[in-house]
């Protein structure tokens, strides 16, 4: 059985540029809802905005039998972070960003979470001659390095994204996140691989799994889908079914045992139904991929005869016989 989790932000009120969706919920109400979602056993909670005290948060998790997949530290919502937090020219702003990441590690330790993930969305640029790229990279090393070296037993994972809230984010691909960690030199640090971020960034999600897995650094997974034009956070398999199957195949190939966490926004669709769709398709594909290997898929995979591979997929993955 694959382990499935949900980012708590999507269990309550969400909004886009024009509309608001669903009703606001307390952390306990979100945990209550998660327990009603078939297949989900874990949560990724956002620090510091969507949590109670460590004691109360842990008590709620125990009450509802929920595990912590990760603590997501938000370093973009504060007014000071509007133009960037970890790469801000203002040292005090960078120090605040580092403090948030360290505090998130403290919080994770207190509730029994084994990792902190951070997506530096406010750090980037829009125009030519706007940014000193070399200086920004040095600041990324400085800030993430300090946070990553703190309490290494609670590793910091960097989540990449091509854009949002900046036109171009500094850390916009798995390769760049990995290069940053290599430059930092903290071997415990990892990469959060988001299926949709890879897709709309023009990358192949399964290849990014292979890249990070072969590096020896840990990795953590967010699942969703989009149209490869923007990060819509659709539910899994709705746009890139075959690519999602390949993504899961590579996770199985590398022995991934951690949570697959839904970074999916229900918006117009029923919250419970949306996440149950994610969980269903993911679990069914995971089980089916086991059967494919038992039927000899490993021998075809990468053999050079893609027509034979495609015929196998027609008959055994798509069930077109």
* Per-residue 3-state assignment (H helix, E strand, C coil) for the chain: CCCEEEEHHHHCCEECCCCEECCCCCHHHHHHHHHCCCCEEEEEEEECCCCCCHHHHHHHHHHHCCEEEEEEECCCCCHHHCCCCCCCCCHHHHHHHHHHHHHHHHHHHHHCCCCEEECCCCCEECCCCCCCHHHHHHHHHHHHHHHHHCCCCCCEEEECCCCCCCCEECCCCHHHHHHHHHHHCCCCCEEEEEHHHHHHCCCCHHHHHHHHHHHCCCEEEEECECCCCCCCCECCCCCCHHHHHHHHHHHHHCCCCCCEEECCCCCCCCHHHHHHHHHHHHHHHHHHHHHHHHCCHHHHCCCCCHHHHHHHHHHHCCCCC
What's the CA angle centered on 87, arms 74 and 190, to 5 degrees? Answer: 60
Structure tokens given for 194: 């988001």
Q: Tokens 């919250």 correspond to what residue? A: 271
Q: Write down the pLDDT at residue 157.
A: 98
pLDDT-derived band of residue 301, with 50, 70 and 90 as boundaries?
confident
Percent of the chain beyond pLDDT 90? 94
Instruction: Compute the distance between CA of residue 124 and CA of residue 78 in angstroms, rounded to an integer.
Output: 16
Mean pLDDT of the chain: 96
Structure tokens given for 135: 């200086």
Mean pLDDT computed over 28-37: 97
Q: Write down the pLDDT at residue 105.
A: 98
Structure tokens given for 317: 């993955």
Structure tokens given for 283: 């679990």
Mean pLDDT computed over 185-194: 98
Bridge partners (DSSP) listed for residue 42: 5, 67
Q: Write down the pLDDT at residue 321.
A: 83
Q: Write down the pLDDT at residue 68.
A: 98
For the stretch 212-241, pLDDT in tens is 999 999 999 999 999 999 999 999 999 999
Mean pLDDT computed over 144-148: 98
Of the chain, the end-to-end C-alpha distance in Å amounts to 28
Bridge partners (DSSP) listed for residue 158: 118, 191
For the stretch 84-140, pLDDT in tens is 999 999 999 999 999 999 999 999 999 999 999 999 999 999 999 999 999 999 999
Q: Provide CB contacts within 8 A for 72, sequence distance 6+.
A: 7, 44, 45, 46, 47, 116, 117, 118, 119
| Chain centroid to CA 259 | 10
pLDDT-derived band of residue 1, with 50, 70 and 90 as boundaries?
confident
Alpha carbon of 1 to those of 252, 256, 257, 279: distances in Å? Answer: 11, 12, 10, 11
Instruction: Compute the distance between CA of residue 112 and CA of residue 191 in angstroms, rounded to an integer.
Output: 20
Instruction: Compute the distance between CA of residue 246 and CA of residue 122 in angstroms, rounded to an integer.
Output: 31
Q: Tokens 């539910």 correspond to what residue? A: 235
Per-residue pLDDT at 302 exceeds 90: no
Mean pLDDT computed over 156-168: 97
CATH of 4-296, one of 3.10.20.30, 3.30.160.40, 3.30.230.20, 3.20.20.150: 3.20.20.150
Per-residue pLDDT at 7 exceeds 90: yes
Mean pLDDT computed over 58-76: 97
pLDDT-derived band of residue 17, with 50, 70 and 90 as boundaries?
confident
């Amino acid at each position: 059985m694959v382990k499935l989790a949900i980012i708590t932000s999507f269990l309550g009120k969400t909004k886009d540029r024009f509309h608001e969706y669903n009703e606001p919920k307390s952390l306990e109400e979100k945990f209550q809802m998660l327990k009603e979602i078939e297949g989900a056993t874990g949560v990724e909670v956002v620090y510091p905005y969507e949590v109670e005290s460590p004691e109360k948060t842990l008590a709620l998790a125990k009450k509802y039998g929920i595990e912590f997949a990760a603590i997501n530290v938000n370093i973009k919502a504060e007014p000071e972070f509007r133009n960037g937090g970890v790469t801000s020219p203002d040292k005090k702003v960078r120090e605040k960003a580092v403090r948030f990441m360290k505090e998130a590690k403290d919080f994770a330790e207190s509730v029994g979470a084994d990792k902190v993930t951070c997506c530096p969305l406010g750090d980037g640029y829009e125009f030519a001659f706007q940014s000193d790229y070399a200086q920004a990279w040095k600041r990324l090393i400085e800030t993430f390095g300090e946070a990553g070296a703190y309490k290494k037993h609670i590793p910091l994972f960097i989540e990449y994204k091509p854009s949002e809230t900046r036109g171009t984010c500094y850390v916009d691909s798995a390769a760049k996140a990995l290069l940053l960690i290599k430059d930092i030199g903290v071997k415990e640090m990892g990469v959060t691989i988001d299926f949709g971020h890879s897709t709309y960034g023009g990358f192949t999600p399964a290849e990014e799994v292979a890249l990070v897995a072969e590096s020896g650094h840990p990795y953590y997974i967010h699942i969703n889908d989009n149209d490869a034009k923007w990060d819509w956070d659709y539910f899994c398999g709705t746009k890139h079914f075959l690519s999602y199957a390949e993504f899961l195949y590579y996770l199985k190939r590398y022995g991934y045992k951690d949570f697959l966490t839904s970074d999916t926004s229900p918006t117009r669709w029923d919250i419970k139904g949306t996440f149950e769709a994610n969980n269903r398709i993911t679990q069914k594909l995971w089980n089916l991929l086991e059967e494919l290997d038992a039927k000899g898929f490993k021998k075809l995979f990468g053999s050079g005869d893609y027509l034979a591979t495609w015929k196998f997929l027609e008959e055994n993955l798509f069930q077109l016989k």
